[in-house]
Each structure stands twice: as C-alpha cells, then as structure tokens.
Amino acid sequence: MRTQNWARQVWAIVVKDIAAELHTREILSAMFVFAVTAMLTFSFALDLRGAVGRDAAPGVVWTTIAFAGTLGLSRSLAREQQTGGIAGLLLAAGDRTVIFFGKSLGNTAMLLILEIALLPLGTVLFDANLLRPEIVLVVILGTIGYAVAGTLLAAIAVNTRAREVMLPILLLPLIVPLMIPAVQATAGLLEGLALAEVNNWMRVLVVYDLLIVAVAMLTFEYVIEA
Amino acid sequence: MRRRLLNWVLGVGSVVAFVGALVMVFLYAPREATMGEIQRIFYFHVASAWVGFFGFFITFVSGALFLARSERRWDILGLSSAEVGLAFITMVLITGSLWARPVWGTFWTWEPRLTISAVQWLLYVAYVMLRTSTTSQERVARFAAVYGIVAFVTVPLSWFAIRWWRTIHPQILAGGEMALTPRMLQTLLVSLAAFTLVYATLVRQRVHLEEARDRLAGLQAG
Amino acid sequence: MAENAPPMVVIEQLSKAFGPRVALDRIDLEIATGERVMLVGPNGAGKTTLLRIVATLSRPTAGTVKVAGADVSRGGGDARGRIGFLSHESLLYEDLTARQNLRFYARMYGLGDMTARIEELLARVGLTRRGDDLVRTFSRGMVQRLAVARAILHRPGLLLLDEPYSGLDPVAAESLTALLAALVETGCTLLLTTHHPAAEGTLTERVVVLSGGRVIEDGPVGDVASFPSRYRALLTQTMSA
C-alpha cells in the first residue's frame, strides 16, 4: 500500500515549493524587483547607452542574475527553516538525494522564471538581442550550475548567524568558472559568432554543471542533517 | 616530549631554510636583465602561491576525511591549514602588486595567476568567515568541510576559464615571462622548501592551539 | 503486547561526541514493540540528541540504532516509514494550507489512501473546517494539533515525541494524551522525552533516566504519584556524585 518512489518524492517537494510560492509570491516578486533595480542602477552608474550598453549587456545581465539569485535561494531555504528546520524532509525522504534534487529543481525553475522576465528587459534596455535561442541555451546551462551550487550553499548559510548575508560571500567566488564562460559566450553570440565558435566556453559550463551536481549530491546530506 | 622535539626541529628548520633562502635570493640569484632588482620578489611570490594552493589542498583532504570519519582532528587540521593558507595567499597578492607597479606601472594586472590567487583568497576568506559564524561547533565543522571540498574542486576550472579569458583579451602589458637560469631555479626551489617548512610550523602551532582550546573546554564542562 | 515480537528499537553502544564534548556515551537500550517509554533527565543530559538520532535526523559518531530490525544510524532509509516524530516545532509549512501540508507528507510517504486518511486525521484533531486555511493563520494550539496529524499520518509503528507537552494549554494537553492513549491501544511503540514526568506517568510504563549522556536508571514507572519525588531525589543524587 505504501510505495516510496524517488521521482515521486522529488516531484512532491517541487510541487510543495510551487504551491507555497503561489500563495505568497514573495520570493519571485522580491527577486524581480531587485533585479530590475539592479539593472537600472548599472545603466545609470555606468552610463550604458548605445554601443557601450551593448558591450556591457552580457556582464550586466549575468551579474544581476548572480545577485538577485542569492535572494531567492536564501528565501527558498529559509522557508524550510521556519518551523523546525529541514527535519520534516529528513523524516519523510527515503533517500537524502531526494531532498537535494527536489530543492535544486525548484530553485532552478525559480531562477528560470526570473530570467524569462529579465532577458526581454535586457534586450530592450541595451538594444541587444538576448532572446536568441543560442543565448537562451547558455542561460539555461549557467542557471543549472548556479542553482545547484546555490542550493548547497544556501542550506549552509541559512544555519549561520549571518544568514542571508553569508550566501553571496560563499557563492560568488565559487561560480567564477560559470560567470566567465557565460558572459564570454553571451558576448560572442551577440557579436554574431555561431554556437560552434563559443564551444570552449560551452564546454566549461557543461563540465562545471556535471562537477557541481556530483559534488553537491555527495555532500548535501552532511549539510542538512542536524 | 617527542612533540616538543618535533616542534623545535620544525621551528629551527624553518628559520635556517628561510635565512638560506634570503641569502640565495639576494646574493646568489642573478640580477634579472629586464626587470632589475624588483624581480627578486618573484621567489617569494611563487613560493607563497605554491604554499597557498597546497594549503587549500590540505583543507580539501582533511574536509573529506572529517566527513568520512567524524574525527575532530581532521576538522582542526582543515581550519588550521585554511587560516595559514589565507596568510600566504595574501602575501601572493601583496607581492604581486609590489612587483607589478615598477614593472608595468600599475598595482594590479588581470594576469591569470594573480587573478586565480584573488579567487582563492576570496574562497579562503569565505571559509574563515563561515567558521566564525555558526553557534554549533559540530555543524560548523561539517559546513566548513563541505565548503572546503566544493571550493577546491572549482579552482582548476576557474584557472582554465580565467586563462582563456585572458588569452582572448591579451593585455597591453606584456613581458610577464622570464627565462629561468639554473641559479634562479635553485633559488626558487630553496624558497619553496623554506616557505613549505614555515607553513608546516605555523599549521602545527595552530593545531596545538586548537587542541589546547578543546582541552580547556573539556575541563570547564566536566 | 506480543511476547515474542522482535524489539522495535535496539540501541547499541551509541555515542555522539565532538572532540572533548560528549553528548552521548555508549548507550545501550532496547525497546520492545508496543512498549511505552519515558526518557527523562536534566538539561543537557542528551535526551533530545538521543531521540533525534533514533528519528534519523542526526548521525551518531559511534554505535548503531536499529528500528524494526533495520539499521538507521547511517542514513539508511528503509525504516523511515515506520517512524513518526513530534516535537515542539511543528515541521509544517506556514505558506501552505493544512490539507496541502498533509498532502505533501502523504505523497512523500507514498500513502495509497491519501485523501481518505487526510480527512480522517483532520476530523480526529478537529480541523476539518480549517483544512483549506493557511497554517500561518492558525493559533498555536491548532498548529500543535495539525502537527500531531502530520506525525501519525503514515501510521508509524514507533512514535518519538520530544517534549510534546511543552507550551500546551491544559485542554490541548488533554486531547494529546487522549490521542496517544488511543494510538497505544493499536500497539504503537512510544518513546517520549519530558522535563515534567508527572503528567506522562499515566501514559508510559517504563522510565529511562539519562544524565551526562549515560543511562543511570531504567525501570518501570511504578507508583506514578510518588514518581516525581523519587525522580528528584535521584537527580540530586546524581548531580552531587
């Protein structure tokens, strides 16, 4: 009568997070407002008009995602902390990797939703076509790595005294092998290069994603247990 | 008593090696053609970088061992190596700046090796901050171990990404390479050995300090 | 109580230490199926640590814990479905409704009769009418009741309770006792920790006293009325030793 199915449990966690977000919408709205404010601030401060804007667009967009993302990641993990920590998940999940994949998938989806709003905004603001399918592919690959690393580190950060403040400190140096390739690939594609020509960068992104998923999967259980 | 003997040997060994290195750096190594005397900082710069990375590696290994065995001594080794490693990486950045200024006219260049040191510096600092920001000692040990592992694993990838980034945007400031004559190589190796001994001495002292803290806590509790 | 049933919980040489700090020191304990045990001791004795290790929320540094024959001390997942856990923290999501909370746990535990079971439990704890309200809007007593529903949702054979009566008003406490008594009748094994052994004396039959991470007393509750004073005497004895 009882069938604990790995995929079903992962999906249950994702559904739970979506349902909670649908009720409050506080994470997505906070991330979106922060991201828009950040992009506008960059535009004013660096006077990003015309060609300068087009050149700066990849960097500005990725930096914005990196910073706004920390808000969402922190809140997503903090939600588990609310009433008893992640204990409920630990009790019910047959296998610790269920929790890891469930939260990572949920966080990846949350970031992708943010990017669906951000890429058109960047396109309009900087007169650079960020909606090309090749660029979308780069964004997806970068987001996966970021979300996985971010989920692992947010699970740590939320248990420290500094909480949200700790996450950017931990996360940002760790995603250097993500940021550089993502920005360079996006910039190359914007200049008209074909996907094959930014191959080097794509490869680094894929290797990073695989590596970070492997390491996070192995170490996550040590982070969430009491 | 064996412990005290080893401490003494390490300490004296470090001093001797360091003095030896200093002598070689200033008197034995040749004056470099293009850069002049400032080039001598290269020996300290590279030795610090090597030791900094090595410290990272030790933190990585002790983190993995701690997660596997839950033995406090691996945790102590990890935190000691990280603190000492941070000091050495800071030296890399400082010596790098001191070197860059007279040679290239600027304090900072985005040269790949310097950039990767900056990234390592940030990772080390994050590790140290993490250790001081949690109330539960046992949990922070696990957090730090995990961070040490993940951080170390991303460094090689960062290195490649940074190198490729620098090659497609070559610096206007060239001339960072120099040929290594045999005398320079010997000096470098001695510097390396000296710095490694200093690292070992410092880590050992830090480990003893932490062990003493544990003993104190044990006495206070019981 | 089945005489020949295998023990529900077997704890062997269980230790939890970090450097010089010892939370649990080589604990040996066996709990038979259907037994009701009270775990008491002064602050810092290791009661909560022990309970959380049995609940698989935490890992020991040495020793083993077997629940229903399966080793759960190192992340083993098989017996989790048999374990229920209740503490003063509700483990519920405030941004979800009561039904959504229970539905989530039902899915995680893979319950076949999800809807029926949820409605049954909501009725048992008197929250049917508030089933579609966000837990954020619940009073503390209501949250506790829903937490109990969550804890027994998957019909666990072993129920672990960490100071379940702390912060409960007398009415809520009474209804919790009634619910637990009903569960006990179905053969559920009970292990609860408490600071105030008087109330729980009626529910439990055996008491284990923990101090400084060690078991210092393990026996029947005996005369419930005299238990508090005996317990106090025992603690003063231990602390001056």
Q: What is the domain partition of chain A in residue ranges?
A: 6-224
Task: Give the span between the Cα atoms of A51 and C47, in whole angstroms.
Answer: 66
User: Which residues make beta-bridge pairs with C77?
Assistant: none
Task: Give the span between the Cα atoms of B26 and A200, in whole angstroms.
Answer: 43
Chain A contact set for C87 (CB, 8 A): 84, 87
Residue B208 at interface with chain C, using a CB cutoff of 8 Å: no
At B93, the amino acid letter reads: L
In-domain check, residue C3: no
Which chain A residue's Cα is nearest to B169?
Answer: A184
Q: Tell how far CA C226 is from the center of its chain.
A: 24
Residue B146 at interface with chain A, using a CB cutoff of 8 Å: yes
DSSP assignment letter at C6: P
Q: Phi/psi of residue C77, each to 5°? A: -95, -10
Please count the structural domains in chain C: 1
Is B218 close to C18, i.e. CB distance below 8 A? no
How do residues B97-123 score in pLDDT, each as one tens digit?
888 888 778 888 888 888 999 999 999
Chain C contact set for B217 (CB, 8 A): 19-21
Q: pTM of the prediction? A: 0.90
Q: What is the pLDDT of residue C1?
A: 46
pLDDT class for B172, splitting at 50, 70, 90? very low
Task: Give the span between the Cα atoms of A153 and A150, in whole angstroms.
Answer: 5
- Alpha helices by DSSP H, listed for chain A, are 6-24, 26-46, 50-81, 87-92, 96-126, 133-157, 166-174, 176-190, 199-224
Task: Give the span between the Cα atoms of A90 and A61, in whole angstroms.
Answer: 36
Residue B221 at interface with chain A, using a CB cutoff of 8 Å: no
Q: Is A153 exposed, middle or buried (0-12, 13-18, 19+ CB in 10 A)?
A: buried
- Beta carbons of C172 and C12 less than 8 angstroms apart: no
Can you list the pairs that C109-113 forms with residues at least 24 positions away whose Cβ atoms lie under 8 Å?
C109/A2, C109/A4, C109/A92, C109/C81, C109/C153, C109/C154, C110/A2, C110/A3, C110/A4, C110/A5, C110/A8, C110/A9, C110/C81, C111/A1, C111/A2, C111/C153, C111/C154, C112/A1, C112/A2, C112/A3, C113/A1
Residue A41 at interface with chain C, using a CB cutoff of 8 Å: no
Can you list the pairs that C174-179 forms with residues at least 24 positions away whose Cβ atoms lie under 8 Å?
C175/C125, C175/C145, C176/C144, C176/C148, C177/C202, C177/C203, C179/C124, C179/C125, C179/C148
User: Which residues make beta-bridge pairs with C11?
Assistant: C29, C65
How many angstroms separate the first and last alpha carbons of chain B?
27
Q: What is the pLDDT of residue C4?
A: 60
User: Residue B185 is encoded by which pair of tokens?
Assistant: 């190589």
Residue C177: which H helix or E strand, with range? Answer: helix C170-185
Chain A contact set for C75 (CB, 8 A): 96, 221
Torsion of CA B178, B183, B185, B187, to 10 degrees: -110
User: Per-residue confidence of chain C (241 residues) as pLDDT tens digits?
Assistant: 445 678 888 888 998 888 778 889 899 999 988 888 988 888 778 889 999 999 999 888 889 998 888 888 776 667 888 899 998 888 999 999 999 999 999 999 988 889 999 999 999 888 899 999 999 999 888 888 899 999 999 999 999 999 888 777 777 778 888 888 888 888 889 999 887 666 666 778 888 888 888 888 787 877 655 666 766 776 666 555 4
Compute mean pLDDT per 10 residues along chain A, 226 residues long, and list them: 73 93 89 94 87 89 95 91 84 88 95 94 89 93 97 93 89 95 93 85 95 95 88
Residue B34 at interface with chain A, using a CB cutoff of 8 Å: no
- Beta carbons of B178 and B99 less than 8 angstroms apart: no
Q: What is the pLDDT of residue B198?
A: 92
How many angstroms separate the first and last alpha carbons of chain A?
31
Is C20 close to B70, i.e. CB distance below 8 A? no
Is A211 close to B157, i.e. CB distance below 8 A? yes
User: Which residues make beta-bridge pairs with A158?
Assistant: none
Is A3 close to C112, i.e. CB distance below 8 A? yes
Which chain C residue's Cα is nearest to A96?
Answer: C75
Give me the sheet containing C70-71, strands edge to edge: C21-31, C9-18, C62-67, C70-71
Task: Give the span between the Cα atoms of C228 and A223, in whole angstroms.
Answer: 40
In-domain check, residue B201: yes
DSSP string, A132-195: SHHHHHHHHHHHHHHHHHHHHHHHHHTTSSSGGGHHHHHHHHHTHHHHHHHHHHHHHHHTT--G
Q: Phi/psi of residue C38, each to 5°? A: -110, 135
Please count the structural domains in chain B: 1
pLDDT class for B173, splitting at 50, 70, 90? very low
Residue A51 at interface with chain C, using a CB cutoff of 8 Å: no
Range of the domain at B77: 37-214
Give the side-chain half-sphere CA count within 13 A for C43. 0
Is C110 close to A5, i.e. CB distance below 8 A? yes
**Residues in B 85-124 with any Cβ partner in A closer than 8 A:** 119, 122-123
Query: What is the least distance, in Å, from the CA of B6 to any CA of chain C?
Result: 24
Is A223 close to B122, i.e. CB distance below 8 A? no
Residue B150: which H helix or E strand, with range? Answer: helix B137-168
Is B161 close to A226, i.e. CB distance below 8 A? no
Query: What is the least distance, in Å, from the CA of A187 to any CA of chain C?
Result: 40
At B36, the amino acid letter reads: G
In-domain check, residue B206: yes
Residue B166 at interface with chain A, using a CB cutoff of 8 Å: no
DSSP assignment letter at C86: E
The CATH number linked to C89 is 3.40.50.300
- Beta carbons of B115 and B162 less than 8 angstroms apart: yes
* Partner chains of C (3+ C-beta pairs under 8 Å): A, B
Residue A166 at interface with chain B, using a CB cutoff of 8 Å: yes
Task: Give the span between the Cα atoms of C28 and C12, in whole angstroms.
Answer: 5
Which chain B residue's Cα is nearest to C22?
Answer: B218
- Beta carbons of C73 and C46 less than 8 angstroms apart: no
Is B72 close to C61, i.e. CB distance below 8 A? no
pLDDT class for B126, splitting at 50, 70, 90? very high
- Beta carbons of B67 and A222 less than 8 angstroms apart: yes
Residue B160 at interface with chain A, using a CB cutoff of 8 Å: yes
Judged by phi (left if over 0) then psi (alpha if -120 to 50, else beta), residue B177 lies in beta
User: Which residues make beta-bridge pairs with B207?
Assistant: none
Number of Cβ atoms within 10 Å of the Cβ of C41: 26
Q: What is the pLDDT of residue C240?
A: 56
Residue A23 at interface with chain C, using a CB cutoff of 8 Å: yes
Length, in residues, of chain A:
226
Which residues touch C59 (CB under 8 Å, ≥6 apart)?
A225, B70, C53, C73, C74, C75
Query: What is the least distance, in Å, from the CA of C71 to any CA of chain A?
Result: 13
Chain B contact set for A153 (CB, 8 A): 147, 150
In-domain check, residue C1: no
Look-up: residue for tokens 């993490």? B130
User: Residue C114 is encoded by which pair of tokens?
Assistant: 């999800």
Which chain B residue's Cα is nearest to C21?
Answer: B218
User: Residue B206 is encoded by which pair of tokens?
Assistant: 């830090």
Mean pLDDT value across chain B: 86
How do residues B38-80 score in pLDDT, each as one tens digit?
777 888 888 999 999 999 999 999 999 999 988 899 999 999 9
- Beta carbons of A82 and A117 less than 8 angstroms apart: no
Which residues touch A64 (CB under 8 Å, ≥6 apart)?
A35, A38, A39, A42, A118
Is A215 close to B153, i.e. CB distance below 8 A? yes
Which residues touch C187 (CB under 8 Å, ≥6 apart)?
C1, C33, C34, C157
Query: What is the least distance, in Å, from the CA of C61 to any CA of chain B?
Result: 7
Task: Give the span between the Cα atoms of C208 and C29, in whole angstroms.
Answer: 9
